[in-house]
Amino acid sequence: MALIVQKYGGTSVGSVERIKHVAERVAKFKMLGHQVVVVVSAMSGETNRLIDLAKKIQKDPDPREMDVLISTGEQVTIALLTMALKDLGLKARSYTGGQVRILTDSAHTKARILGIDEDNIRADLNAGKVIVVAGFQGVDEAGNITTLGRGGSDTTGVALAAALKADECQIYTDVDGVYTTDPRIVPEARRLKTITFEEMLEMASLGSKVLQIRSVEFAGKYKVKLRVLSSFQEEGEGTLITFEEENNMEQAIISGIAFNRDEAKITVLGVPDTPGVAYQILGPVADTNIDVDMIIQNTGANNTTDFTFTVHRNEYARAMQLLNGMQPQIKAREIKGDDKIAKVSIVGVGMRSHVGIASTMFKTLAEEGINIQMISTSEIKISVVIDEKYLELAVRVLHKAFNLENAG
Ligand code: ASP
Ligand code: MG
């Protein structure tokens, strides 16, 4: 007998039929003698619908009331799924976040979990019940409803698995695992049988949307055995997120290629090359709450230097406006921007022990005539910024160059 936490995302509970289907899947695990805790998201589209309603009333909706509103989506699905389980003859009980007592801080719409009282759940499990918990929501010390940020049900699932010391946390979604890259761009993309936590973290932060990044951090920290699976397929082992030590020797050097088109590039040319200049430029950007991703500084001629950095494309206009306003003050010769860029990254723990990965990447792009505008690296990742129009080509040729169609 194992204790399994299963999390079902919005598309997996997107209709009454899908909810009944989830109930049948849960019943199968229960029949095998396992204890099952189910965490569900809102039905697909519901959270967006609720957010839109709020914005029709208040341009900048009150955060506390926003949480009261958007937590309702999950409350609907826990009730419906519990009914479906009962209809199959199972003992089951739903819990809101507050009823479990998933205690969070008070940062409405992006709260962090501080602790979970698992006693009630444990007692119900021991009494043979299936437990159905609303994802994405918690409660603060004062009893206010909080939510954990978009995609937060993943984190609820992992946090419950950690608190209950579950044998496995299964994340059911509409894809059957983590792929070497997006199969819509590269049809030869393969499902990975395993990927390490570190790689998954990089993939999540680089734009792969399979898991909420916070849930991956959580699983890594508490050593939760995490698996991504499809709720649309009857069979399949999905992708297991592993710790590096457990991974076998045949681990490919590169595990995946992530990309995103959400960035824009800003270049500040010809500023005096003196101490404090980076702070003068980037300090005000940070103070305006604009996140900066890659940063490059060149040594230019005549004691001047150039800065290039990337920001989220949604914040590009705001960042350009800010910098144009600062131009006289920072004594910049010129400020240029480009929001038609894309970032492509290769990720793999094998980079630690293999040389020549970066040069293979650069050679591959050069052979296609793709110009690299910026480069940044970490121990297990190399990212390049390129012209957006070459994104798909770049992903395809890199997938081939690193032989990823034979990975997994
Ligand atoms: N329903 C929430 C959202 O759409 C949480 C989740 O689905 O994980 O972001
Ligand atoms: Mg999700």
Q: How many CB atoms lie within 10 A of CB 141?
A: 10
**Distance (Å, rounded) from C-alpha 69 to C-alpha 321?**
34
Altogether, the residues listed in the chain come to a count of: 408
- What is the DSSP track for 242-278? E-GGGS-TT--S--EEEEES-EEEEEEEEEE--TTHH
Mean pLDDT taken over the chain: 93
- Domains, the chain, in order of start with CATH, read 3-174 (3.40.1160.10), 257-406 (3.30.2130.10)
Q: Which ligand is nearest to the CA of 211?
A: 2
- Ligand 1 centroid–CA 281 distance in Å is 36
- Ligand 2 centroid–CA 44 distance in Å is 9
Give residue ranges with CB within 6 A of ligand 1. Answer: 9-10, 41-42, 47, 73, 135-136, 150-154
Please name the residue that has the structure tokens 């199969």: 183
Mean pLDDT value across residues 314-318: 94
In ligand 1, which atom is closest to the CA atom of 153?
A: 8
Q: What percent of the chain has pLDDT over 70?
A: 97
How confident is the model over 157-180, as pLDDT tens digits? 999 999 999 999 999 998 889 999
Cβ contact 326:284 at 8 Å: yes
How confident is the model over 341-383, as pLDDT tens digits? 999 999 999 898 888 999 999 999 999 999 999 999 999 999 9
Angle, helix 46-57 to helix 72-87, in steps of 10 degrees: 150
**Residue 249 pLDDT exceeds 70:** no
> Which range (102-111, 144-153, 211-220) has the least confidence?
211-220
Q: What is the pTM of this model?
A: 0.86
**Residue 246 pLDDT exceeds 60:** no
How confident is the model over 259-294, as pLDDT tens digits? 999 899 999 999 999 999 999 999 999 999 898 999
- What is the DSSP track for 162-221? HHHT-SEEEEEESSSS-BSS-TTT-TT--B-SEEEHHHHHHHHHTT--SS-HHHHHHHHH
**Residue 144 pLDDT exceeds 70:** yes
Cβ contact 162:156 at 8 Å: no
> Which range (19-33, 240-254, 316-330) has the least confidence?
240-254
- Ligand 1 centroid–CA 157 distance in Å is 12
The pLDDT assigned to 408 comes to: 60
The pLDDT assigned to 354 comes to: 87
Indicate the top mutation candidate among 13, 18, 41 to test ligand 1's pocket, ranked by most ligand atoms within 8 A of CB: 41
Atom 4, ligand 1: which residue's CA is nearest? Answer: 47
**Residue 189 pLDDT exceeds 60:** yes
The pLDDT assigned to 407 comes to: 67
**Distance (Å, rounded) from C-alpha 257 to C-alpha 275?**
37
pLDDT higher at 76 or 183: 76
Indicate the top mutation candidate among 7, 102, 136 to test ligand 1's pocket, ranked by most ligand atoms within 8 A of CB: 136
The pLDDT assigned to 397 comes to: 98
- Ligand 2 centroid–CA 170 distance in Å is 13
**Residue 245 pLDDT exceeds 80:** no
How confident is the model over 57-75, as pLDDT tens digits? 999 899 999 999 999 999 9
